[in-house]
Amino acid sequence: MKKREKKRSKKKRTGVYLFLALLLTAGIGALIVINVFTVERAEVLGNELYSDRQIEEMVLNDKYSWNSLYVYLKYRFFDVGDVPFVDTMEISLKGPHMLRIQVYEKGMLGYLYIDTIGMNAYFDKDGFVVETSSEMIEGIPKITGVECSEVVLYERLPLQNDGVLRNLLNLTQILKKYGLLPDQIHYDASLEPTLLYGGVEVRMGTEENLSQKIIRLSYILPQLNGLSGTLHLENWAEDNTDIVFDKIE
């Protein structure tokens, strides 16, 4: 009997010691988490439409967000939520005091105003509607002169003329490549585009020699800063390289 009681007592003491050790370890761990993992800096990457400060406020949005480990674990299991014009954000720890927020914005190349919904429909390089909003984003051209009565989010722009959509996507992708996205792209009755940069209009004509026309535009446009008038690229060809600018005095 005494041997059994001694064994039970020994097991009980071992259990208490083990519990205390676990409690101490948990306490030390909690102190480390509280005192070491504090947000002192957030590095924001990939953002153009929102400022670093705005992105930080979207991510560090509750009373526990001072703790970097908490923020990291929170967004391992939950996303930031719906943010206009942003596809997703990835949050990682670069150290106990530093968070990295990688922003992936929706690749928008232009937008059309849709009368039936009273909003702008923003589209990507494949012609899919990625956002509808009443906001007008600087640096994203407005498209006019084409008909589109309704849109469905994440579906292709239902333009009545497939040729115009093909031209629009090709045109905007090349313009973006050269950093030349205009304020507005207007299609005339012949469905030929005119680019508007402030007071300068650029007549593009047909799709023929489009890349070469835009390359020449990249050289000429900086020289027209502060001027008003019409730049004629519609007749440019390899055997007709004259480019005329009709200046408005």
Task: Kindly write down the DSSP assignment for every residue of the chain, as one continuous string.
Answer: -HHHHHHHHHHHHHHHHHHHHHHHHHHHHHHHHHHH-B--EEEEES-SSS-HHHHHHHHS-STTTTBHHHHHHHHHHS-----TTEEEEEEEEEETTEEEEEEEE----EEEEETTTTEEEEE-TTSBEEEEES---TTS-EEESS------TTSB---S-HHHHHHHHHHHHHHHHTT---SEEEE-TT--EEEEETTEEEE--SSTTHHHHHHHHHHHGGGGTT--EEEE-TT-BTTB---EEEE--
Quick one: pLDDT at residue 242? 86
Q: Are 126 and 94 contained in the same domain?
A: no
Q: Is residue 15 part of a domain?
A: no
Q: Are residues 166 and 243 in the same domain?
A: yes
In a domain, 44, yes or no: yes
Closest alpha carbon to 121 in 107, 109, 131: 131
Longest dimension (CA), the chain: 114
Q: Do 135 and 100 belong together in one domain?
A: no
| Domain presence at residue 26 | no
Residue 21 lies in a domain: no
Phi, psi dihedral angles at 66 (to 5 degrees): -75, -15
Establish if 20 belongs to a structural domain. Answer: no
Number of domains into which the chain is organized: 2
Q: What is the CATH number of the domain that holds 146?
A: 3.40.50
Same structural domain for residues 120 and 200? yes
Same domain, 184 and 242: yes
pLDDT value of residue 20: 47
Please say which residue of 70, 90, 105 terminates a domain: 105
Domain limits at 66? 38-105
Listed residues 78, 105, 132: the one ending a domain: 105
| Residue 74, domain member (yes or no) | yes
- Regarding whether 163 and 97 lie in a shared domain, the answer is no
**Is 52 in the same domain as 118?**
no
Residue with tokens 């509607």: 129
Tens of each residue's pLDDT in the chain, 249 residues: 545 555 555 555 555 545 545 554 555 445 454 556 788 899 999 998 999 999 999 999 988 888 888 898 899 888 888 889 999 999 999 988 899 999 999 999 999 999 999 999 999 999 999 999 999 998 999 999 998 889 999 999 998 788 899 999 999 999 999 999 999 999 999 999 999 999 999 999 999 999 999 999 999 999 999 999 999 999 898 888 889 999 997
Together in a domain, 161 and 239: yes
56 and 134, same domain (yes or no): no
Domain membership of residue 18 (yes or no) is no
Q: Determine the Cα–Cα distance for residues 132 and 23; give it in Å rounded to an integer.
A: 53
164 and 55 in one domain? no
Which of 87, 105, 123 delimits the end of a domain? 105
Same domain, 243 and 134: yes
